[in-house]
Amino acid sequence: MTDLAAGPESHVAFVRTTPAPHVARPPLPGGPLHWVRANLFATPLDGALTILVILLAWWTVPPLLDFLIFDAVWSGSGRDACLPSAQNPDPGACWAFVRTWFSFFIYGPYPLAERWRVDVFFALLVFGTAWMLWLDAPRRDLGAAFFFLALPTVSFVLLRGSTTIGLEVIDTALWGGLLVTLVVASVGIVVSLPLGILLALGRRSTMPAVRLLSIGFIELVRGVPLITVLFMASVMLPLFVPPAWSPDKLLRALVGIAIFASAYMAEVVRAGLASIPKGQYEAARALGLGYWRMLALVVLPQALRVTIPNIVNNTIALFKDTTLVFFVGIFDFLRTIEIARVDPAWATPVTSTTGYAFAAICYFVACHFMSRYATGIERRLAAGDRR
């Protein structure tokens, strides 16, 4: 080793004395072509799948766009507008029909002069929902009180009417369209969350009576399909009680849906409760907190935070399940479209397709919004874990 340390004069053949020249790094694989190769055609199977998907899109997307947009009929006053004609030999979606019936899709048979009440309800609902969903909103405790207590009461009085405050009473048989869908969905959510939490706590309770009742309720309701609950409520219940006591049709469906949603919500919340380590309970006890304060201050805030994505998921499912009230003769959003599409004044070969396309778009937009919200919340919660 002394040879090497001898200084610059010593010439050893395998040691270079000048620095190597800088050479540009070899090109990294890159560029659009590489991306395509790496992502779309990495293996023969990938390649085949890619071609299949492109072909599928090629076959479905252009005709869909043609139908929904390019060949669509946007204005007109009757079926003649949407029938094949010289200018438009193969008419697409008949949006003129949706425009004519639009107010029916929103309000159903709700009396024309009183529809401002529904508009106010929509505004209140949007306000309350935004307050609840916007996590940085001021006074969210007030927001919760508004959403869970004030909103249902005010909405009921507003929509149904009350002679004492001079609002004409509108029978629920006249409610319909988006109004009913939103009422059913929001009642389901507003009732199922608190009731679900109570049931979940009941199921984890150490008191046998409470636990058995909770388990019995949850398992019984989860064990039957929603449509069965609705049929029971709307067909069987009136046979058991005298007509004077029989609640109206919408209320029966609401109770059915609320019970059903609560059972599912209970299981979601229970999963959240189970995820809280036992140490948290013990620490809360050690601080001298009682059962309810332990739940309110330590356990539930953590448990609910974990379950928010699942709660939103449940909400999406519930929102779509509301279409089942269709089967018990309530005019929900989908049912109003079902009615409108048989209107002889608009009877054309494309009317039904247009109606269903409109329903699909509306439901997709609503559900997509909810799922985006859930994703946002998830990301926000995950930020805490990443730290």
Binding site for other proteins (CB under 8 A): 79, 83-84, 100-101, 103-104, 107-112, 171, 173-174, 176, 234-235, 238-243, 245-246, 249, 327-331, 335, 338-340, 342-345, 347-349, 351-352
Residue whose CB is less far from other proteins, 252 or 270: 252
Q: Residue 160: exposed, middle, or buried by beta-carbon count in 10 A (0-12, 13-18, 19+)?
A: middle
Minimum Å gap between C-beta 359 and other proteins is 15
Residue whose CB is less far from other proteins, 352 or 371: 352
Q: Which helix H or strand E contains 240, and what residues bound it?
A: helix 237-240
Residue whose CB is less far from other proteins, 49 or 241: 241
Minimum Å gap between C-beta 100 and other proteins is 5
Residue whose CB is less far from other proteins, 100 or 262: 100
Minimum Å gap between C-beta 67 and other proteins is 15
Give how far Cα 280 sits from Cα of 164, 197, 273, Å: 51, 18, 11
Residue whose CB is less far from other proteins, 46 or 66: 66
The encoded tokens of residue 316 equal 């999406």
Residue whose CB is less far from other proteins, 108 or 143: 108
Minimum Å gap between C-beta 331 and other proteins is 7
Q: Which helix H or strand E contains 227, and what residues bound it?
A: helix 226-231
Q: Rounded to whole angstroms, how far apart are CA atoms 328 and 322?
A: 11
The encoded tokens of residue 8 equal 């610059």
Give how far Cα 75 sits from Cα of 39, 66, 97, 100, Å: 45, 17, 8, 9
Q: Rounded to whole angstroms, how far apart are CA atoms 216 and 59?
A: 51
Minimum Å gap between C-beta 269 and other proteins is 24
Q: What is the DSSP letter of 20?
A: P
Minimum Å gap between C-beta 105 and other proteins is 10
Residue whose CB is less far from other proteins, 82 or 197: 82
Residue 162's SS3 state is: strand
Dihedral sign, CA of 156, 158, 161, 165?
Answer: positive
Rounded (to 5) percent helix, strand, coil in the chain? 75, 0, 25
Instruction: Round to the nearest angstrom and report the end-to-end CA distance of the chain.
Output: 50
Minimum Å gap between C-beta 66 and other proteins is 17
